[in-house]
Amino acid sequence: MTITSILRRTFYLFLAVTPCYVAVVHAQSEATGDLTLAAPYGIPPAVFNASISRTVRQSAVYVPGYNLSAPEGFGPSGNGSAVVGWQLGVAVADNVPLTNAAAPGINTAKVIDATTLWLQAPLGVEFLNSTAWKLCATVFPYVNMSAAMQGGENVERRTAVSDSSDSSDSVSGDDSRQNNGNCGAWLTDQCAAALNENALAYGTGADGSCYNMTVPQSCTPFFMHGHGNGTAVVLDKNTLADGRFYAWGSAPTSGDDTAALNSALSHVWPVLLTWIQFGQDGKVFTANSHVSCLAASSNGTGTATERGTFTSAGKPGPVPNQGLAALFATALALLM
């Protein structure tokens, strides 16, 4: 297979209740929505979920959030629905087998490193009032890590360690850095502010729809050329119950590839959460967006108890979600 064919764009979109995954042959692959029904590279979800229970490292940060159970138009400009305790997390598992993967041309004898993103609500506000609220996450997988890691101020801020950091949990020498979700440590404050503004201006429709979003001009140095789009994922009641909403598969590799694992652990994940509240007239009452940046190799401010049907690192997961309804699935066309 030639280099051209290896990098050829390939994607699959399954309609109605069928989840979707996006695959670039021998490059990377993503899956969105209910991960009990979809996995990168078309790996059977049961195989994928059993494999990612062996999490190498995970991290979580507290993020601004709202009471999704609140009624329509509740609170002045929606602020009356603000609550603390929402956590956004990232987890990385290694040596996930490509056995029976559906992506064409894939070497099923290879493995991948899998990254999953999840969101956990504080108790009592996790029940979605779908007539009053819509929650969308926009994930930007193609961060330019070379640019993100440059700059004396950024390096100093990234390596600041909080008093609560546990050095015994380190995976590598740089794992002691503390991350509170502030993207300014990697993408600059100007870029993070522009992402928040663009999410409301271009990533959200007047009817509450959420769209894939292109990064603003001030952010382009921090994203790979030609890969600046973000994937928008609607977090419905099923996805919120499970917690996990996004999975990313690395390029296929041989087992125990230390370099590939370190790359997955240190990768920065900008995630925009857009909270849309409707009024009693069915129109958008208020919308709030906030971008956070995660890396599994950084110590987060949250509890880092991974969400999902399966346990991880000896920590119990929530009760499995058995009621599978019609799901939202979104696909990102990966450009060459």
Interval 297-327: pLDDT, tens = 988 999 877 666 443 333 222 222 222 222 2
pLDDT on residue 149: 65
Contacts 24+ apart (CB under 8 A), 14-22: 14/329, 16/326, 17/324, 17/325, 17/326, 17/327, 18/329, 19/327, 19/329, 20/329, 20/330, 20/331, 21/331, 22/331, 22/332, 22/333, 22/334
96 DSSP β-pair partners: 112
Q: Could you tell me if residue 201 is left (phi over 0), alpha (psi between -120 and 50 degrees) or otherwise beta? A: alpha
What's the whole-number mean pLDDT along residues 249-262? 94
Whole-structure pTM value? 0.77
Polymer length in residues for the chain = 336
The domains of the chain are located at 22-300
Give the model's confidence band at 225: pLDDT under 50 very low, under 70 low, under 90 confident, else very high.
Answer: confident
Question: Which of 317 and 94 is assigned the larger pLDDT?
Answer: 94
Q: Which tokens hold the place of 42? A: 């078309």
Least confident range of 120-124, 147-151, 203-207, 272-276: 147-151
Per-residue model confidence as pLDDT tens digits over 15-68: 222 233 333 333 589 999 999 899 999 999 999 999 998 889 999 999 999 999
CB half-sphere exposure, 219, CA atoms < 13 A: 28
Question: Which tops the pLDDT comparison, 310 or 256?
Answer: 256
Of the candidates 38, 89, 115, 69, the residue with the CA atom closest to the CA atom of residue 275 = 69
The C-alpha atoms of residue 216 and residue 212 are separated, in whole angstroms, by 13
Nearest to 16 by CA among 329, 324, 321: 329
What are the tokens at 258? 């230390």
For residues 45 and 332, which has the higher predicted lDDT (pLDDT)? 45
Ramachandran sector of residue 149 (left: φ over 0; alpha: ψ -120 to 50; beta: rest): alpha
State how far the Cα of 36 lies from the Cα of 27, in Å rounded to an integer.
23
pLDDT score, position 104: 92
Residue 176 has a CB neighbour count (10 Å cut-off) of 18
Average pLDDT value for the chain? 76
